Amino acid sequence: MSYSNKVIDHYNNPRNVGSMDKTSAEVGTGLVGAPECGDVMKLQIKVNPATNVIEDAKFKTFGCGSAIASSSLATEWVKGKTIDEALAIKNTEIVKELSLPPVKIHCSVLAEDAIRAAIGDWKKKQSASTPVPVEAKA
C-alpha cells in the first residue's frame, strides 16, 4: 500500500500531539474506536465559552498511519472554528485532503466521530455547569 505525501507528512510530523486536562470545564474529550479494532483516537478541544470558538486542540492516536494523519488533520481543522463550524466537518473532506484509499476510509470516519465526541463532551459539561439561579440565603 502506498501512502500519499500528506499522510506521510502528518505521520512524520503529527500536529498538536498531547493531552489537556479532561476535568476542565473548558475542555471536551472524545475517545473513539477500540483496541481490538486496531484504532483508538483521543481528540480534545479547548473552547472559549463566550465565543464558542475552539482555541486549542490536541490528539493522541493508536492506529495506522492514515488514522494518525486523519486525527492530526482534524486537530488542525477544528482550531479557530466555532463549535458549529467544527460539527460541519465531513469525513469525505478528510478523505479528499489526505487522498485516502477505500480501505482507509474508516480512519476518516473515526476522526469525524472523534470531533463529534469531543464537542458532545464539552456541551455536556456546559449544560452541567450552567449556573442555576439560586435564592440567596440570609
Catalytic residues, by residue number, are 37, 107
Contacts (Cβ under 8 Å, ≥6 apart) of 105: 91, 95
Among 10, 28, 63, 75, binds other proteins (CB under 8 A): 63
Question: Which DSSP letter does residue 3 get?
Answer: -
Binding of residue 41 to other proteins (CB under 8 A): yes
Binding of residue 28 to other proteins (CB under 8 A): no
Cα distance between residue 13 and residue 89, in whole Å: 22
For the CB of residue 18, give the shortest distance to other proteins in the complex, in Å: 9
Which helix H or strand E contains 56, and what residues bound it?
strand 53-62
Which helix H or strand E contains 11, and what residues bound it?
helix 5-12
For the CB of residue 114, give the shortest distance to other proteins in the complex, in Å: 10
For the CB of residue 38, give the shortest distance to other proteins in the complex, in Å: 4
Determine how many CB atoms are found less than 10 A away from the CB of residue 123. Answer: 13
Chain positions contacting other proteins, by CB under 8 A = 3, 8, 11, 14, 17, 19, 31-42, 60-65, 67-68, 103, 106, 109-110, 113, 117
